[in-house]
Amino acid sequence: MSDWKVSPETAAIRTQAERTSQREHSVPLYLTSSYVFDSAEHARALFAEEVEGNVYSRYSNPNVDEFIRKLCLMEGAEAGVATASGMAAIFATFAALLSSGDHVVASRALFGSTHHLLTRVFSRWGIEHTYVDADASRADWEAAIRPETKILFVETPSNPGLALLDLEMLGGICRERGVILTVDNCFTTPYLQQPIRFGAEIVLHSATKFIDGQGRVLGGAILGSEARIAEIRSFARNTGPSLSAFNAWVLSKSLETLAVRMDRHAANALDFARALESSPDVERVLYPFLESHPQYELARRQMKAGGGIVAITVKGGLDRARRFIDSLELISHSPNLGDTRTIATHPSSTTHSKLTEEERQSVGIFPGLIRFSIGLEDVNDVIHDVTRALESSR
């Protein structure tokens, strides 16, 4: 293609593992645990990492490598590591880069399992953390950083309150202070947001969500500079949170439709959010590209579209929220998100139930909050189901 540089969306479709002698058009599954060596010298060189090549599928696999290459092209990353789940990606990143005595600065608005790692797991290993409110000023973020701070960790938009973090501001702080800006990019995917452009050194994904897009397989990814990824890759190879070849094959094929799916998710979510804003049964609707979102202008600066997640707070608190969920007929009730099918989740009793009530309310998770992962259905059918369920739950 001469000197033409294709778009990330095209790269996600056209990037493939090397074609075999069978001349396949679609990449086959490489269901093997190990690989053979050409010679004794070849084996030695592979284990000494003097040459590239497959040794053992806990280390690398053609399907896994293809998946990571595609994600790197989309995120603008130099290298990456695939893991068995999104939480495995977060754990491997922290465990590889942090030592006893290190400190993490993190947004208070975090997924429940990430909060558990910081407060229950790494605290036992002598790793401390400081939470900062998502809407804090630059001065507040700078004040939280200590000499021993190694990582500044955020998710944006946050789960489930859809708080946004100013990535350009945080990237500038981290460059000045020598801290690793690490971003959970799960809600937006690399199609809608590329944190590396704003100064992130590491980007994490739960590929289980929108990257898969159909609720089929688990997977995670860690992307960033070659130097940082080398540290994490060594840890992951020796501790074993590896992604299976089958799941990598599914996820790599899913990336080929990511752009068209995310366009539909985002369009449906915006229509849904606008429709619910006028409901007398809803206290608040949160969606990044809704003009009423408190960080609407920031969302427009760093996101291509608003994504597929909408959060609403129903009037009537916990009892009303439960009646509402039980009244839904079309929409699924599940803890997952990013599916073709719209999903409703009650975070305070499920995904974030391990937090105290004070911790939940500090990040906007009130008893009446419902998180919707808007699917690919006709959005009018989704709106009708929610409107009818709101009326039934009065």
The pLDDT of residue 103? 98
Q: What structural domains and CATH numbers belong to the chain?
A: 8-30+61-255 (3.40.640.10), 258-392 (3.90.1150.10)
Whether residue 104 contacts residue 127, with contact meaning beta carbons closer than 8 Å, is answered with yes
Q: How far apart are the first and last CA of the chain?
A: 61
Beta bridge partners, 222, equal 81, 204
DSSP string, 99-122: -TT-EEEEES---HHHHHIIIIIG
Is the preceding omega at residue 157 within 30 degrees of 0, hence cis?
A: yes
What are the beta bridge partners of residue 132?
Answer: 107
Q: Residue 233 corresponds to which amino acid?
A: R
Q: What is the pLDDT at residue 249?
A: 98
Burial status of residue 48 (CB atoms within 10 A of its CB: 0-12, 13-18, 19 or more): exposed
DSSP string for residues in 19-59: P-TT--SSPPP---SB---SSHHHHHHHHTTSS---SBTTT
Phi, psi torsion values for 251, nearest 5 degrees:
-65, -35
Sequential DSSP letters for 242-292: PPPHHHHHHHHHHHTTHHHHHHHHHHHHHHHHHHHHT-TTEEEEE-TTSTT
pTM of the model: 0.95
pLDDT tens-digit profile, the chain (394 residues): 567 888 988 988 999 999 988 899 999 999 999 999 999 999 999 999 899 999 999 999 999 999 999 999 999 999 999 999 999 999 999 999 999 999 999 999 998 899 999 999 999 999 999 999 999 999 999 999 999 999 999 999 999 999 999 999 999 999 999 999 999 999 999 999 999 999 999 999 999 999 999 999 999 999 999 999 999 999 999 999 999 999 999 999 999 999 999 999 999 999 999 999 999 999 999 999 999 999 999 999 999 999 999 999 999 999 999 999 999 999 999 999 999 999 999 998 877 776 777 777 777 788 899 999 999 999 999 999 999 999 999 9
* CA pair distance 299, 157, nearest whole angstrom: 9
Report CA-CA distances (Å) from 273 to 126, 361, 390: 43, 22, 15
Q: What is the pLDDT of residue 2?
A: 62
Return the CA Rg of the chain. 22
Q: What angle do CA 352, 369, 294 make, to 5 degrees?
A: 105
DSSP three-state, residue 318: helix
